[in-house]
Amino acid sequence: MYRMLIINPGSTSTKIAVYDDLNPVFVETLRHSAEELAPYATIFDQYEFRKNVIIKAVEEKGIDLGTLNAVVGRGGLLKPIEGGTYSVNENMIEDLKIGVQGQHASNLGGVIAFEIAKKYNIPSFIVDPVVVDEMQDVARISGMPEIERKSIFHALNQKAVAKRYAKEKGVKYEDLNLIVAHMGGGISVGAHKKGRVVDVNNALDGEGPFSPERSGGLPVGDLVKMCFSGKYTQDEIKKKITGKGGLVAYLGTNDGREVKKMMEEGNKEAELIYKAMAYQVAKEIGSCAAVLKGEVDAIILTGGLAYGEEYVSWIKERISFIAPVVAYPGEDEMLALAEGGLRVLKGEEAAKEYK
């Protein structure tokens, strides 16, 4: 049995867990008030504070940190890397410190994991950060030389459910062609070809289906007119794309349950918008089927929206001709991180080196 500490920092909280293999000993969310975080000018400045809060919380549960076999942190905004579990090394620490692709609380995951693990002479890992990039060259071409398509998606959950599906079927993830649609606050649909995500929409920055909080791809000409209309600042336009787009813009909520309630009360606009979101997801899945030349072993629907049976049925009716459709509702980032660490500890895969 292997015991792991899992660390997943968010902007105002840090999720932690201790797993014995894949059995959670405890899972807890440590909240950080605005007052607690106020003294720290940058995210990295919070490192010592968060590390101490984590250690205290684990010890209060009666768990001896000396019994750990590894510490696994959420991967941050590193340089683009292929998917997998990575050993945390000095190169990674440096890139997380400076925020080589931007500052985000998840950058602290690998750093804190490394420091705790170092004290007990055990390994530290990160697993499938959002910067996982396995796109084939042809998929990077946008149609405008100044703009290259980027791979930014829900790599941790997409890879986790794909590997879970393969394990249940008794085959290797690397032997399958899968399409995975992660449907949460943002929506990403990836074409997984023999263990690599060879094409995926940029779920953060205005590409692919619209989602509860994001606009997805838009008619470019009309967007250009909006940008130069004088009515909006650059920040306001960016907020319309990510944060205040999608369901929020149309219906004033990012909660699928609220939309369902509107529909039950006879709100026809809510029904149309919700169906349109399912329609766009189905269309993106069809696009991925073309990427895989129709050779698709399964389509996996995951994320919070996959709990909605009616919503899932609207997608299924458009895509079930392509391949069998499987739903793994929700996302369990802590379990996904534990799975990634355990695969390495058990020797099922080798930890990769960040360069």
Helix segments in the chain, DSSP class H: 34-37, 47-60, 90-98, 107-119, 137-140, 155-169, 220-227, 234-241, 247-251, 256-264, 268-291, 309-319, 333-345
Give the separation between CA 79 and CA 86, rounded to whole angstroms: 13
Q: Which of 40, 71, 38 is closest to 55 using CA atoms?
A: 71
pLDDT of residue 261: 97
pLDDT of residue 115: 97
Q: Are 14 and 30 in contact (CB under 8 A)?
A: yes
**Residue 125 DSSP one-character state:** E
pLDDT of residue 346: 98
What confidence tier does 12 reach under pLDDT thresholds 50, 70, 90? Answer: confident
Share of the chain above pLDDT 90, in %: 93
Give the separation between CA 159 and CA 182, rounded to whole angstroms: 10
Q: Are 333 and 9 in contact (CB under 8 A)?
A: no
The mean of the pLDDT values for the chain is 96
DSSP 216-284: -S--HHHHHHHHTSSS--HHHHHHHHBTSSTHHHHHS---HHHHHHHHHTT-HHHHHHHHHHHHHHHHH
Residue 290 in tokens: 């073309």
Q: Which of 153, 181, 155, 162 is closest to 288 using CA atoms?
A: 181
* Residue entry with tokens 């000095």: 90
The bridge status of strand 196-200 relative to strand 147-148 is unpaired
Give the separation between CA 257 and CA 79, rounded to whole angstroms: 37
Residue 102 has pLDDT above 90, yes or no: no
**Average pLDDT in the 342-353 region?**
97
**Per residue in 108-126, pLDDT tens?**
999 999 999 999 999 999 9
Q: Are 155 and 83 in contact (CB under 8 A)?
A: yes
How many other C-beta atoms can be found within 10 angstroms of the C-beta atom of residue 243?
Answer: 15
**Per residue in 155-164, pLDDT tens?**
999 999 999 9
Q: Are 348 and 315 in contact (CB under 8 A)?
A: no
Give the separation between CA 204 and CA 183, rounded to whole angstroms: 13
**Per residue in 52-81, pLDDT tens?**
999 999 999 999 999 999 999 999 999 999
Does CATH place domain 155-329 in 2.60.200.20? Answer: no
**Greatest distance between any 2 Cα atoms in the chain:** 62
The CATH class that applies to domain 3-134+333-353 reads alpha beta
Write the CB contacts of 156 (distance below 8 Å, at least 6 apart in sequence): 74, 75, 127, 128, 129, 130, 333, 336, 337
Give the separation between CA 34 and CA 335, rounded to whole angstroms: 28
Residue 215 has pLDDT above 90, yes or no: yes
pLDDT of residue 130: 87
What confidence tier does 205 reach under pLDDT thresholds 50, 70, 90? Answer: confident
Write the CB contacts of 281 (distance below 8 Å, at least 6 apart in sequence): 181, 183, 187, 189, 209, 315
Please state the domain extents for the chain: 3-134+333-353, 155-329
Residue 103 has pLDDT above 90, yes or no: no
**Per residue in 304-332, pLDDT tens?**
999 999 999 999 999 999 999 999 999 88
Residue 88 has pLDDT above 90, yes or no: yes
Residue-wise over 12-50: b if at least 16 C-beta within 10 A, else e? eebbbbbbeeeeeeeeeeeebeeeebeeeeebbebbeeb
Give the separation between CA 66 and CA 158, rounded to whole angstroms: 32
Radius of gyration of the chain (CA): 21
**Per residue in 249-259, pLDDT tens?**
999 999 999 99
pLDDT of residue 104: 86
Q: Are 165 and 112 in contact (CB under 8 A)?
A: no
